[in-house]
Amino acid sequence: MNWTEIGTFLFIPVDAERMVAGAHKRGAAAIILDLEDAIAPSNRDAARGKLAGSVASLAEQGLTTVVRVNNDPGRLVDDIRAAAIAGVHAIILPKVEGAGLCQFVDGALAVAERAAGLPERSIGIIAVIEHPAAMRALDEIAAATPRVVALGFGSEDYASAIGTRATFESMAMPAQAVAIAARGRGLAVFGVPGSVGIIDDEPAFKALARAANAFGYTGILCIHPRQVAMADEALAPSADEVAKARRIVEAFDRSVASGSGAVAVDGQMIDIPVAMQAKRVLSLADRLGARKPQPAA
């Protein structure tokens, strides 16, 4: 699994059997089976018992599967044991404030993997930042263990912790800080710099998805199926962007083949970093398609 490829991650309650059965129709790059916030606290232990069946269903659909576990001491280890099954690619570890929790979970996963007969470190950790206290330890969290494959940003809980609403204005700075820590360590980073609860305001959610992409986020977290299509459309490069990227790549490749290091395209000097950005645009277009050109104003 290449976690750094841009895509959408859709939360589905682990006990929502109809939603799990139809997950392949949603178009998400990965499905997050939720044992935490999408489940009433009184039902979480019972919901855990449905995890194996839900994972098997998603595996049959060929989907990448992530499990969000509970962080409280009474459920964390039991959730980890339940999630250590074939078909689970990573766990989402919420409310991480330091490297110690990631290291503890690394050890617990190692024990669970051995007990389940799984390959060592077959299950990654996505450490989610949801409290300002974690800001002091972002790099340590990102480097806590090789099992950490990504950081996530939990905007709603972060906003609650600082006593505000999850708007772009309030979340832009911490969201970008999480992205810098993750990308600086070569990790993926998931979330949006604002409210993940936006469902009906399509322009607003698309704007958040584009802002996340500009910050370096590689995954957009979606709590409703409608958001998946919004995010994919927002992230897909336009036809004009694809055409320009293709001109850049072709010109740069010709330049390299002829022994030259740089070339001008459309009045812009093209070197290796610019060519790499253009190749990223083409790769994204291959996976998400391309938006139609917008009419001139």
Name the nearest CA neighbour of 232 among 188, 295, 291: 291
**Reduced 3-state DSSP string for 11-56:** EEECCCHHHHHCHHHCCCCEEEEECCCCCCHHHHHHHHCCHHHHHH
- Is 233 annotated to bind a ligand? Reply is no
Question: What are the φ/ψ torsions at residue 190 (nearest 5 degrees)?
Answer: -125, 145
Residues 6+ away with beta carbon under 8 Å from 260:
none
- Residue pointed to by tokens 């060929």: 62
How buried is residue 162: exposed, middle or buried, by Cβ count under 10 Å (0-12/13-18/19+)? exposed
Which 8-state DSSP code applies to residue 75?
T
Rounded to 10°, the helix 76-83/51-60 angle is: 40
- Is 130 annotated in a binding site? The answer is yes
Q: Consult the annotation and say whether 113 binds a ligand.
A: no
For the chain, the 3-state helix, strand and coil shares in percent, each to the nearest 5, are 50, 15, 35
Q: Note the Cα 5 to chain centre separation in Å.
A: 9
- For residue 2 the two structure tokens come to 């290449």
Distance CA 213, CA 73 (A): 34
DSSP readout, 213-262?
HHHT--EEEESSHHHHHHHHHHHSPBHHHHHHHHHHHHHHHHHHHTT-S-
Residue list, annotated binding site for substrate: 68, 130
Residue ranges of the binding site: 68, 130, 157
Numbered residues of the known binding site for Mg(2+): 130, 157
